[in-house]
């Protein structure tokens, strides 16, 4: 899968939710770390939407213990024909533990999203540039989710997104109430991926819109 333009990902731990998302989303983010018996369900998936598989570590807001089995699941996932992309944390890659996921993804032609999640705040612009560039060195898209305390934090994130996006494929968003609107406007500044739950009750990050709302707002701002 290529991320040449904005794609909307419907986040879920239940692949049975795919029919409710297929008319709105471009891709389904399957949260292995939140799913029961995820690998087995993944192997039986017969939906229409391609999958972006995530097995988020506890260190970055997920539910998967940071053990070798977490990465084993990702290696197995990228071997499934319905998986178009996989998410792995930049910290995992830089520690050397994620290299086998990257190698298998390359062998299978699966795109890689290299992600960073900051639940404490928003780094300064120089740091955000460095994180995104580092992510892009290892993957097809560099994802950065920060926590905004105010509108200034959102402006910093959008400025970095706008600056890098012509040459560096990025996906950016600001979590929290102050950053909620970033999920709508970041695509205008070059962000390649947006995330939203099919059901608002299943939000996987602070400040997420539901899927239908985010699709409608993004499309309206983009003149579609």
pLDDT tens-digit map of 129-142? 999 999 999 999 99
Distance CA 114, CA 98 (A): 10
Axis-axis angle for helices 99-108, 68-78 (nearest 10): 10
Q: Does residue 53 lie within any of the structural domains?
A: yes
Q: Does residue 19 lie within any of the structural domains?
A: yes
Q: Does residue 1 lie within any of the structural domains?
A: no
Whether residue 59 lies in the annotated active site: no
What's the order of all strands across the beta sheet hosting 111-117? Answer: 170-175, 141-147, 111-117, 83-89, 51-54, 27-31, 7-12, 193-197
* Gap between the terminal Cα atoms of the chain: 22
Domain that holds residue 76: 7-221
pLDDT tens-place string over residues 195-221: 999 877 777 677 789 999 999 999 999
- Whether the full predicted model's pTM is greater than 0.85, yes or no, is yes
Q: Does residue 202 lie within any of the structural domains?
A: yes
Q: Does residue 142 lie within any of the structural domains?
A: yes
Q: Does residue 2 lie within any of the structural domains?
A: no
- From the list 117, 138, 162, 181, the catalytic residue is 117
Whether residue 117 lies in the annotated active site: yes
Confidence at residue 206, expressed as pLDDT on a 0 to 100 scale: 73
State the average pLDDT for the chain. Answer: 94
Q: Does residue 49 lie within any of the structural domains?
A: yes
The candidate with the shortest Cα–Cα distance to 157, out of 165, 168, 146, is 146
The CATH number of residue 19's host domain is 3.20.20.70
- From the list 138, 143, 162, 181, the catalytic residue is 143
Number of domain units in the chain = 1
Q: What residues have CB less than 8 Å from 62, skipping those under 6 apart? A: 31, 33, 34, 54, 55, 56
Confidence at residue 78, expressed as pLDDT on a 0 to 100 scale: 96
* DSSP state for residue 17 in the 8-state scheme: G
The candidate with the shortest Cα–Cα distance to 122, out of 89, 91, 145, is 145
Confidence at residue 29, expressed as pLDDT on a 0 to 100 scale: 97
């Amino acid at each position: 899968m290529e991320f040449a333009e904005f794609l909307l990902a419907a986040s879920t731990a239940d692949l049975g939710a795919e029919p409710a998302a297929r008319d709105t989303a471009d891709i389904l983010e399957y949260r292995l770390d939140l799913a029961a018996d995820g690998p087995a369900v993944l192997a039986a998936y017969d939906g229409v939407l391609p999958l972006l598989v995530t097995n988020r570590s506890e260190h970055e807001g997920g539910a998967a213990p940071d053990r070798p089995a977490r990465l084993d699941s990702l290696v197995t996932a990228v071997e499934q024909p319905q998986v178009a992309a996989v998410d792995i944390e930049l910290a995992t890659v830089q520690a050397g533990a994620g290299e086998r996921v990257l190698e298998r993804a390359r062998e299978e032609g699966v795109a890689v999203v290299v992600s960073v999640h900051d639940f404490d705040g928003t780094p300064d612009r120089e740091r955000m540039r460095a994180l995104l560039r580092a992510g892009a060195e290892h993957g097809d898209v560099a994802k950065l989710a920060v926590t905004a305390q105010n509108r200034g934090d959102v402006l910093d994130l959008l400025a970095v997104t706008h600056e890098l996006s012509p040459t560096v494929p990025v996906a950016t968003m600001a979590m929290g109430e102050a950053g909620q609107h970033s999920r709508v406007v970041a695509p205008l500044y070059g962000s390649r991926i947006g995330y939203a739950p099919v059901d608002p009750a299943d939000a996987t990050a602070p400040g997420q819109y539901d899927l239908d709302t985010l699709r409608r707002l993004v499309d309206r701002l983009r003149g579609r």
